[in-house]
């Protein structure tokens, strides 16, 4: 049922590219912190190589992933087949958040659509690729991406987004710094 790979083979690359949603998980060190699990969509995931991936992180209510990556680097991505053959795909790795001011940012940003509200780009070096059956995942049809986040960011504008991130995204819910 489960298969493990050291890198993302071509058939799983095609699977990833066909998905409309993915999930990202991270956690702080120690037993007292909160595990974070977030759904992502809007065509914001990219395969950079068979062992390197990235996603465009848009402004949101929290910034847990950046805090956890700064602290320990651990990250996991999960993709589920909601249509067609059942499968769950997990990518385990070590990640880093690249802010717009970082020297690497322009090259990374060129691989993504230009959305309002871009906060950072998360890049991960993948160390383990694992599939599992996905037999318990429901069959669902994709209808469309939501445009609410884009509209919210456009309404806030650059200054409003900067103020929002300063107020809401500088620390994790466990009070860890995000940058």
Per-residue pLDDT tens digits for 25-67:
999 999 889 999 999 999 999 999 999 999 999 999 999 999 9
pTM for the model: 0.96
| Stretch 84-90: mean pLDDT | 97
> What pLDDT sits at residue 127?
98
Instruction: For 8-162, list the strands marked E by DSSP.
Output: 22-26, 36-40, 45-49, 52-58, 74-80, 88-98, 118-132
Confidence of residue 149 (pLDDT cuts 50, 70, 90): very high
Q: Write down the mean pLDDT value for the chain.
A: 96
**Structure confidence at residue 87 (pLDDT):** 97
* CATH domain 3-168 topology: Pnp Oxidase; Chain A (2.30.110)
């Amino acid at each position: 049922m489960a298969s493990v790979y050291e890198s993302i083979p071509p058939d799983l690359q095609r699977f990833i590219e066909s998905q409309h949603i993915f999930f990202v998980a991270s956690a702080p060190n120690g037993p007292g912190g909160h595990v974070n699990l977030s759904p992502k969509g809007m065509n914001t995931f990219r395969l950079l190589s068979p062992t390197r991936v990235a996603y465009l992180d848009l402004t949101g209510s929290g910034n847990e992933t950046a805090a956890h990556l700064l602290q320990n680097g651990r990250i996991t991505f999960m993709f589920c087949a909601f249509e067609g053959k059942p499968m769950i795909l997990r990518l385990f790795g070590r990640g880093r958040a690249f802010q717009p001011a970082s020297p690497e940012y322009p090259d990374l940003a060129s691989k993504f659509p230009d959305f309002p509200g871009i906060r950072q780009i998360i890049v991960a070096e993948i160390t383990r690729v694992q599939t599992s059956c996905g037999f318990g995942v429901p069959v669902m049809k994709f209808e469309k991406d939501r445009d609410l986040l884009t509209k919210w960011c456009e309404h806030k504008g650059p200054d409003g987004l900067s103020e929002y991130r300063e107020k809401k995204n500088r620390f994790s819910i466990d009070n860890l710094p995000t940058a």
